[in-house]
């Protein structure tokens, strides 16, 4: 079953603009993460926000989490052509195990036009 869902599916912006992606999920979580994937490559972890946090910043990234609405958003400010990639939110199922059953949202494909 799909845990996270994202919108928009695709986003095209000009360099220097901000990009906002949203993610919704269904069950309780320990935390929520965002990953980036350049075309045909592995995923790279961007940022983690815990279930008791509401907002987190990392460089040009800002993530919010609303557990009452089961949703999160990723904001990339002052975008660059190098930010062109697919972005996935990832959640677990709140398991208390030494491994994670990670479920990725469908992803947002971001194109930043120079």
Partner 1 sequence: DTEVTQTPKHLVMGMTNKKSLKCEQHMGHRAMYWYKQKAKKPPELMFVYSYEKLSINESVPSRFSPECPNSSLLNLHLHALQPEDSALYLCASSRPIAGAMNIQYFGAGTRLSVL
Residues that bind partner 1 (CB under 8 A): 29-33, 35, 40-45, 48, 50, 88, 90-92, 96-107, 109
Minimum distance between the CB of residue 4 and partner 1, rounded to whole angstroms? Answer: 8
Q: Show the tokens assigned to 88.
A: 């996935």
Half-sphere exposure of 46 (CA within 13 A, CB side): 27
Minimum distance between the CB of residue 55 and partner 1, rounded to whole angstroms? Answer: 18
Whichever of 78 and 95 has its CB closer to partner 1, that residue is 95
Residue with tokens 């993610």: 23
Whichever of 7 and 15 has its CB closer to partner 1, that residue is 7
Whichever of 79 and 86 has its CB closer to partner 1, that residue is 86
Q: Report DSSP state, residue 98.
A: S
Minimum distance between the CB of residue 105 and partner 1, rounded to whole angstroms? Answer: 6
Minimum distance between the CB of residue 102 and partner 1, rounded to whole angstroms? Answer: 6
Q: How far is CA 47 from CA 14, 16, 38, 114, in A?
A: 23, 21, 16, 25
CB 44 within 8 Å of CB 36: yes
């Amino acid at each position: 079953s799909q845990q996270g869902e994202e919108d928009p599916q695709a986003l095209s912006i000009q360099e220097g603009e901000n990009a906002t992606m949203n993610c919704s999920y269904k069950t309780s979580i320990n935390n929520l993460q965002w990953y980036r994937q350049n075309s045909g490559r592995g995923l790279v972890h961007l940022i983690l926000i815990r279930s008791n946090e509401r907002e987190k910043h990392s460089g040009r990234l800002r993530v919010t989490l609303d557990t009452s609405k089961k949703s999160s958003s990723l904001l990339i400010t002052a975008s660059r052509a190098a930010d062109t990639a697919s972005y996935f939110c990832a959640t677990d199922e709140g398991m208390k195990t030494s491994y994670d059953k990670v479920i990725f949202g469908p992803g947002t494909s971001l194109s930043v036009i120079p």
